[in-house]
Structure 1
Amino acid sequence: MITSVIIPAYNESERIVDTINGINDLAEVDEIVVVDDGSSDNTAQVVKSIDIEKLKFYIQTKNYGKGKALEKGLEIMRKDADIVVFLDADVGKTSSEVIKIIRPVLDDECDVAIARFRPASKKGGMGFVKRLAKDSVYEMTGVELNSTISGQRAFKREVIDRFDFMPDGYGVEVGMTVDILKWGYRVNEYLVDMTHNETGRDLKGFIHRGKQYLHIKKIVKQKKKEWGD
């Protein structure tokens, strides 16, 4: 079984090396695809300097958003990949925990595995975004998941091939989750000891969460229209 890990990266020069190194030695990971989504820092230069045989790297000249970065990763990954993994660039050394969502898919416990993080170490005010995502998925599918906005996911290739394109913006995970459950695939969550760059309770953090909320609202409205809900 061939596993490809796709990492969309935007201004992650401080963490991307640790994120890549954390999964490089995993025997279950055959390919690492990093897509720089028009970073304004030196993420591209940092990744270019990494000498790893299983690493592929692509630079998008503009910041097109996470959905487009994932699409590009799917386009350039190995065509014979059996399992496709999405991994955020900011998880650093804890990226090795991704094995906890790869193995269940390898073992056919589920068709899609989602990483469930432990509660954040600092209050970030993310509650209303997570509630919107969780409640919206439950309302549309009848399935209760706690990590509907988690970016760490492992998919059987047949599932990912069902998508003609990735939803845009911060609603990408919620949109995909709705479709996958509607199609009847098995989705499980697995607790991981990952950490990422937590959003704080400052102005920048609240603006970010506001954007997330609006993007999720938009994608949910779109999915309700598509599925006739």
Structure 2
Amino acid sequence: MKPYLSIIIPAWNEASTIPNTLQHLLNQADLIWGTEMRFEIIVVDDGSVDNTYDVAWPWADKLVKHDRRRGKGAAMQSGVAKARGDLLLFLDADLQATAGEALVLIEPLLRREADMAIAKLPLPGAKAGFGLVKGLARRGIHRLSGYKTEAPLSGQRAVRADRLRELGGFARGFGVEVALTIDAVRHGLRIVELDVPITHRETGRDWHGYMHRGRQFAAVGLTLLTRWKERKQVWFSSDRSSI
């Protein structure tokens, strides 16, 4: 039976970027696979106040709309609930002309060499921040799982659907990718990271950029704290059971 891929794209106020993203994604998928693979595109509009939903529908196979903004993790979960594929590919909505490059993430899964593949993106063209969020995420993932990652915040990742369901639900907010990597390692998923020439909107060094980085730093910190508490509870339960 042909592999079935579900491409899940969470989106919030991405009306200016998502049509281009979806168009390039479809064109590249048809060029690479033709009739060799079945795939569907699922867009989850996470309570946008622009017309993201309207401009996405000509290109998407399935559309989900939240009545209010619930966060990226909730949008990813809604997409998984609608997915039929045995392989899942999560992509950001603002990749535009580079969206099709992410399809390479499926290859290690098809070869059964990995359960999850994460995209390592090129360095940004300009300094967008001080690297504090990425550094915190990288160190936290290593401390809590033993896995050394070069792409702790990457939202572009492919995963086998059956292995993803072993992990339970997604974390909330900006910490969703960090939690997903920690949970995957803890459950024994084989992870690979691939260099992929993807570009998306960069966060600048203006006030909006600093606020975004601040929220992201706080969310990643909270995610790491939550996963640390969960690990302590497991250790405590194990110690008590051995008494």
Same fold per superposition (TM over 0.5): yes
* Secondary structure of 1:137 counterpart: helix
1:100 to partner: Cα distance? 1.6
Q: Tell me how many residue pairs correspond in the alignment.
A: 224
Query: Could you tell me which residue of structure 1 aligns to residue 196 of structure 2?
Result: 192
Pick aligned residue for 2:93 from 85, 89, 94: 89
Distance, in Å, in 1 between the alignment partners of 2:94 and 2:106 is: 19
Segments of structure 2 that go 5 or more residues without pairing to the other structure are 236-243
- Which position in structure 2 is the counterpart of 1:11? 13
Q: Which whole-Å CA distance do the structure 1 matches of 2:174 and 2:134 have between them?
A: 12
User: Would you say 1:37 and 2:37 are equivalent positions?
Assistant: no
**1:170-209 maps to which residues of 2 (within 5 A)?**
170-209=174-213
Indicate if the aligned counterparts of 2:89 and 2:156 stay in contact, CA closer than 8 A. yes
Provide the C-alpha distance between the structure 2 equivalents of 1:77 and 1:182, rounded to a whole number of angstroms.
24
Which aligned pairs between 1:1-229 and structure 2 lie closer than 5 A? 1-25=3-27, 26=29, 27=33, 28=37, 30-48=39-57, 50=58, 52=59, 55-78=61-84, 81-228=85-232
Contact kept? 1:126, 1:209, Cα under 8 Å: no
- Give 2:48's aligned amino acid: S
Aligned AA (2:83): M
1:12-70 deviation per Cα after TM superposition (whole angstroms, max 9, x unaligned): 1111011111221313460100000011111112113x1x4x62111111011101111
* Whole-Å separation in 1 of the counterparts to 2:163 and 2:216: 25
1:90-129 Cα shifts (integer Å, max 9, x gaps):
1111010111211111111211000000100011005110
User: Is the contact made by 1:5 and 1:29 (CA closer than 8 Å) also made in structure 2?
Assistant: no
Q: Residue deviations 1:60-94, cap 9 Å, x none?
A: 1101110111111011121xx11111100011110
SS at match of 1:196: coil
Cα 1:144–1:29 shift into 2, 3 Å: farther
TM-score (norm 2): 0.89
Return closer, same or farther for 1:73/1:128 CA change in 2, 3 Å cut-off. same
Deviations 1:167-209 (A, max 9, x none): 0000000011001001111111000111001000000011001
- Contact 2:10 2:75 survives alignment (8 Å): yes
Structure 2: distance between partners of 1:58 and 1:186: 30
2:49 counterpart letter in structure 1: S
> Based on CA coordinates, which of the two structures has the bigger radius of gyration?
2
Whole-angstrom distance in 1 between the partners of 2:207 and 2:145? 34
TM-score computed with the length of structure 1 as normaliser: 0.94
The separation in 1 between residues aligned to 2:41 and 2:106, in whole angstroms, is 14
Partner of 2:239: none
C-alpha displacement at 1:163, in angstroms? Answer: 2.9
Structure 1: unaligned runs, 5 residues or longer:
none
